[in-house]
Amino acid sequence: MLEAADWRAREAEHQARADALSATHRARRSRGETHPIEDFLWTYYTISPGELRKWHPGVGASLEGAVDRETWRYYRVDGGSASVDLDAYFAKRGATVSYIEELLSSTLERTPQFGCFGLHEWAMVYRLTPEQIRHTRLPLRIGHEATDAVVESNPISCSHFDAYRFFTPAAGPLNKLAPTRENQRDTEQSACLHAGMDVYKWAGKLGPIIPGELLLDAFELARDIRVVDMQASPYDVSGFTDHAGVPLEPIAIETPEGKREYVRRQRGFAERGNALRARVLDAIAVARVAAGEA
C-alpha cells in the first residue's frame, strides 16, 4: 500500500519529467510547426503527451485514496485504494503481452549484428527524385547520385521489418535479409537502432503493468537513437540540435571513420536497450505471478 502523499509525489515527479520531454513538441504543435527529427516520436509512435504523463506504479502496489482511478482503464478501486485489475487486463491484453514477451526475450538472446551502418535510411531514398523523398525540407548531404552510389557499393543487411518496408522498390531486392511481420521474432536483434527505439512502443502497449519511470526511460532511449538515426542518414541535419542544444554533426557512414563511429553508438544503444528489455520482461513476470499465470 502506497500512502497518498508518497504516490502523489511520485506521480507529480513523473508528470514534470514527461512534460519536459514533450515541451518542445507541444510548443511546435501550438504554432503549427513540424520537425523532421523529433516528430517521429509522436507520429510513428502514437503515445500522446497526455498519455506519456500518466503515471502507473506497476503491479504489486495499491494506491491509497486513488478513487479518481476508478475511471482509468484496467484499474479497480476497493475501499478507496486503486490497483491494476489483472483479470481484466490479461483477458483483453493477454495475446499482446505474450507477443511482446516472446519478441523481447528472443531479441535479448540473439547475437547483435553491428554491420548495417544505418543504411536503411539510405535505402529509403534510393533512386528517388528530390520531390519523392520523405523529408523534402532536408537536402541530401552528398547529393542524389552519390547517395545512390553508397547504397550500391555497400551490403544492405536490414533486420527490422518496420524499416525494411519503407525501402524504395529499387532498394528492396538489395537487402540480404527478408524481414517480415511474421518472422519478426526470428530476426530482431539488439544492435538495430529501430529495435532499440521500439522498446518504447512495446512498453507503451503494455500500459499499467509498466511503471511510469520505465516508460520515460524508454522514451529517452528512443529520442537519443532517433537523433543518431538521422545523423547517420543521407539527410543534411546540420541545421538542427539535439535535446541538449548541441549542433548535430553528420555521422558519415560512407567513410571508414563514420562506420566506426556508428558502431560505437550502436553498442551503447544496444546495451541501454537490453537493460530496458530486461526491465520490461521483469514487469511482465511480476504481472503473471500476481495474476496466477506463472
Q: How many residues does the chain have?
A: 294
Q: For the segment 226-259, what is each residue's pLDDT rounded down to a tens digit?
A: 999 999 999 999 999 999 899 999 999 999 999 9
Q: For the segment 8-55, what is each residue's pLDDT rounded down to a tens digit?
A: 999 999 999 999 999 999 999 999 999 999 999 999 999 999 999 999
The yes-or-no verdict on residue 224 having pLDDT over 70 is: yes
The yes-or-no verdict on residue 131 having pLDDT over 90 is: no
207 neighbors 74 (Cβ within 8 angstroms) = yes
Q: What is the pTM of this model?
A: 0.96
Chain-centre distance of CA 220, in angstroms?
A: 9
Predicted pLDDT at 67:
93
The yes-or-no verdict on residue 293 having pLDDT over 80 is: no
Predicted pLDDT at 136:
83
Long-range contacts of 123-126 (CB under 8 A, 24+ apart): 123/151, 123/156, 123/158, 123/167, 123/168, 123/171, 123/172, 123/174, 123/175, 124/163, 124/166, 124/167, 124/168, 124/171, 125/168, 125/234, 126/151, 126/167, 126/168, 126/170, 126/171, 126/174
The yes-or-no verdict on residue 156 having pLDDT over 80 is: yes
Q: How confident is the model at residue 89 (pLDDT cuts 50, 70, 90)?
A: very high
The yes-or-no verdict on residue 294 having pLDDT over 80 is: no
Sole residue written with cell 486503486: 82
Where are the domains positioned within the chain?
86-290
3-state secondary structure of 32: coil
On the 0-12 / 13-18 / 19+ scale of CB atoms within 10 A, 59 is buried
Distance CA 28, CA 47 (A): 17
Predicted pLDDT at 82:
97
Predicted pLDDT at 134:
84
Mean pLDDT (the chain, rounded): 96
Which of 219, 199, 280 lies closest to 54, judged by CA? Answer: 219
